[in-house]
Chains A and B, each alone.
Chain A
């Protein structure tokens, strides 16, 4: 057995304290200005919280023990059984992947060693972007750039306020920005009628415009906008309450913008071939960059999705959906989709990592399932092996990569519970193979 500290979940650790500059690992935008207090009663977000961070940090962990076949066992036994299941598998599947950089490094090493497949639970959403990146390229920007520079922000078909409760406060309507482009006030355009617009207010917010189409028609509306910008005649939109005049008015705003940002969140674009909507958003940016400056900003990225794709890319050469069955990475974003493989009876064991939020449950699987999960993970069926693991940035230190693909942040150990990290368990399983 490798030497990992045989830590069992013992509930909270004793000492209390206040932590500043805390990163919120429960959202892809990784706000890092939280103040979190630890007392006997648990963690409390005392400053700069949001519904997601409060829910995440303040959740009381139920007791959880390593188990095999539903029976509590010593951690070493659970690791042994996990290694046995993976060792005898012909094609193990490594899914979920809600973990930090260190966890991803460890799962990549294990997947290589065990000739398995790696894919993240939320890859389907990320692939709405990746398909377009890999086909046409794109021009994008980052959070700080948008915060300081944008004079026109177009929210395209995605309920950003619901997904990222502090995005408007921190990025769209901050109290100060660096350049005087915001002096004539920032214009916010919502494309979609079901989007929460309540965040679009503040001293520097000017007009708020809504093109009230169905949210899944945003790509179609942007396609019409691109056509009008090129001077084409188009058939007026049939769906929703958007007129050609609305589109022409937006075209004029786009032409006049100094730095426009088109914001979308792939998880919100949950309909067939949503990548074609993304292609319109990035295409709009491309068209307008010929004369002014525009950039895209894709959000989402919860559950360590961006971290998983990034680390997988630098280690294997490909952003997830990689199989090591042959010993070398084989990339196929259709074939090596773990959700599809489980449905179609492919693969013979599933290792699922859900160390961040308790809702990231594995899909129904007929194969033995090893779960490395945060205590309280709402499993719908008992796992063959369950090993409770800590949440990065709460129970142990770590690092995550932010949704805009550039910034990564250090996560603190806030000392909530004595739980091993996913990386420690994965390395122990690899060593026990």
Chain B
């Protein structure tokens, strides 16, 4: 099967193609070099259209226990957005924590072809993958959380051989079927179980006497030496605390040149200036991050409206429980492994703090120089539900629109936004294509995703050019998944099941001996049952597994 897209304006930054008119050929699901003499089975005239690879969301909470707790908690979130079954698609519910099928459809209808769940608990991996298995249309993958699990903390506290820690990290990635590793409030989720209410970068965990700095360094080094492409994904200490910009800057410096990804930095870039002792740290964050090439970030932009925050950071989620709207926070301590906090929130443009959060996110985008090292996220659903992405893209691409929106926010926040007002930058289509496709693919190590060169999978999004970038990105004209048209004019026309991407660094299998003893002695699940077999994803969830390459293990 050969298909051809003719005459589109191609934005493919991974292959240095910027707005050139080119034909694209897809054969048996893969993009191939031009075949001018071949007779395609189908031809799509996309003259004048903007063509990009399918978009990739590298940080979106789409699967796993905390999302289903959020769904259970918030019937009111779904009531206003019922989704009816069609001949083609399943019924479900939308809004800020949509049902699984609806999540897949709506991502695809927005031109996305891959989504990555960034906070999978190893103890909850089976359920996370089952939920992702019920999320059609897009490829999936998940980052497994480490750093507050007792096995790791015991090893670190006992100053165990670093190689065995590396083996444990790799074993966990295999057992949980993960593509990357995330650390959330390093050590803090565990510390909260010991009634510690804050844990700064150099503060000791009361029981293990290790610090977040040690945890971050150990994990970042382990992942780098294991050859995992995506660097340690860090949700830092003190999330949401005024003044946390100091911690965030110190965390970046703490990496000591190791590659790290700082996630949803908006929530971690707060200063203490101004009458209300709450101010933007975006300028300081970007000043340091711009000159620190080993660091990448995503923003976690806040946009206004009702949503629900859902995080592994039980310590900080407990602390913001007071601000829950509606007032029904859920906090969990989980399996000597991690924790979670689900706190519904309504971001209001007339609230000073919420308006400043909006400002800080936008400043971060506009002040960060290198689009290859920044990814477009709202930390769905924490800053805003993912369906706000087209709106966010317009804010970044359209200065006058941004200024209009700025007029509507809390006046005190406006008064503290001289910097944002002065930023004239407007993101280009190239930069958007990097930030939503090529960059995440490169960072996650997805060799055949996020670009349109020969060998890439036929995941392609076609937009009608429209100066209203929100309208343009909200409703792509065509979306192809593996060379098949799956969305037309922003509506699903074919339902497909995406693959699950994993990474499998080498490890010494003898790690299972002490691990098995640990499981038997302390935990309530057998090690053999803890591990998620390939067959569960392939047979049980009707999926497929793509093992992305890892580099050779280094010492």
Query: A: which residues have CB within 8 A of B?
Result: 20-21, 23, 32-33, 101-102, 105, 109, 112-113, 130, 133-145, 147-149, 170-171, 176-179, 258-259, 289, 292-293, 295, 309-310, 313-319, 324, 326-331, 399, 401, 405-410
Contact = CB atoms under 8 A, between A and B. Distances in A.
B332 A406 contact: yes
Contacts of A144: 123, 335-337, 522-525
Contact of B328 (A134, A171, A295): A134
A133 B85 contact: no
A139 B275 CA distance: 35
B16 interface: no
Interface string B118-150: 000101101100110010000000000000001
B124 A178 contact: no
B78 A137 contact: no
Contacts of B521: 176
A101 B130 contact: yes
A292 B318 CA distance: 13
B522 A318 contact: no
B150 A21 contact: no
Contact of B71 (A148, A149, A313, A408): A313
A406 B120 CA distance: 11
Given A105-B134, A310-B68, A145 B101 contact: no
A141 B82 contact: no
Contact of B75 (A33, A143, A259, A318): A318
Interface in B93-133: 93, 97-102, 121, 123-124, 126-127, 130-131
Contacts of A147: 522, 524
Contact of A328 (B91, B124, B331, B540): B91
A375 to B, nearest CB: 25
A310 B333 contact: no
Given A109-B90, A318-B75, A331-B79, A149 B126 contact: no
Contact of B72 (A130, A176, A406, A409): A130
Interface centre among A149, A327, A408 (most CB of B within 10 A): A408
A393 to B, nearest CB: 11
A406 B330 contact: no
B536 to A, nearest CB: 7
A327 B337 CA distance: 40
Contacts of A259: 193, 195
Contact of B99 (A143, A148, A317, A405): A317
B19 interface: no
B521 to A, nearest CB: 5
Given A143-B524, A289-B318, A330-B82, A137 B327 contact: yes
B75 A32 contact: no
Interface in B193-238: 193-195, 207
A140 B358 CA distance: 32
A178 B332 contact: no
Contacts of A331: 75, 78-79
Given A176-B522, A328-B85, A317 B78 contact: yes
B73 interface: yes
Contacts of B73: 133-134, 137
Given A144-B523, A327-B85, A410-B536, A137 B193 contact: no
Nearest to B103: A314
B98 to A, nearest CB: 7
Q: Which residue of A137, A259, A327 has the most chain B CB atoms within 10 A of its CB atom?
A: A137
Contact of A32 (B74, B193, B329, B529): B529
A399 B128 CA distance: 13
B529 A410 contact: yes
Contact of A21 (B79, B329, B342, B528): B528
B253 interface: no
Contact of A405 (B65, B74, B193, B331): B65
A177 B529 CA distance: 20
B92 interface: yes
Nearest to B129: A408
Interface string B474-507: 0000000000000000000000000000000000
A314 B331 contact: no
A248 B65 CA distance: 37
A410 B126 contact: yes
A401 B82 contact: no
A140 B335 CA distance: 11
Given A324-B85, A328-B93, 18 more contacts: A21-B526, A105-B134, A135-B328, A137-B329, A140-B333, A145-B333, A289-B318, A293-B194, A314-B131, A317-B98, A327-B84, A328-B84, A329-B93, A406-B335, A407-B123, A407-B126, A408-B130, A409-B126
A141 B339 CA distance: 9
B193 A409 contact: no
Interface in B34-84: 65, 67-69, 71-75, 77-79, 82-84
Interface in B497-555: 521-526, 528-529, 533, 536, 540
Contacts of A176: 521-522
Contacts of B134: 105, 314-315
The interface centre, meaning the residue of B150, B194, B529 with most chain A CB atoms within 10 A of its CB, is B529
B328 A136 contact: yes
B328 A137 contact: yes
7 contacts: A133-B72, A137-B330, A139-B330, A145-B334, A295-B333, A328-B84, A331-B75
B324 interface: yes
A328 B318 contact: no
B71 A317 contact: yes
Contacts of B335: 142-145, 406-407
Nearest to B341: A139
B317 to A, nearest CB: 10
Given A136-B327, A293-B195, A409-B525, A113 B85 contact: yes
A327 B540 contact: no
User: Which of A32, A149, A314, A329 counts the most B-chain CB atoms under 10 A from its CB?
Assistant: A314
Nearest to B102: A317
Contacts of B72: 130, 133-134, 309, 313, 318-319
Contacts of A314: 67-68, 71, 99-100, 131, 134
B118 to A, nearest CB: 18
Contacts of A138: 330-331
Contacts of A179: 207
Nearest to A333: B75
Nearest to A409: B529
Question: Which of B101, B334, B335, B523 neighbours the largest number of chain A CB atoms within 10 Å of its CB?
Answer: B335
A142 B69 CA distance: 14
Contact of B93 (A23, A318, A327): A318
Select the residue from B525, B528, B533 with max chain A CB neighbours within 10 A. B525
A316 B99 contact: yes
Interface string B233-245: 0000000000000
Nearest to B125: A408
B529 A316 contact: no
Contacts of B68: 310, 313-314
Contact of A407 (B93, B131, B525): B525
Given A136-B328, A329-B93, A406 B333 contact: no
B99 to A, nearest CB: 4
Nearest to A176: B521
Contact of B83 (A32, A142, A149, A328): A328
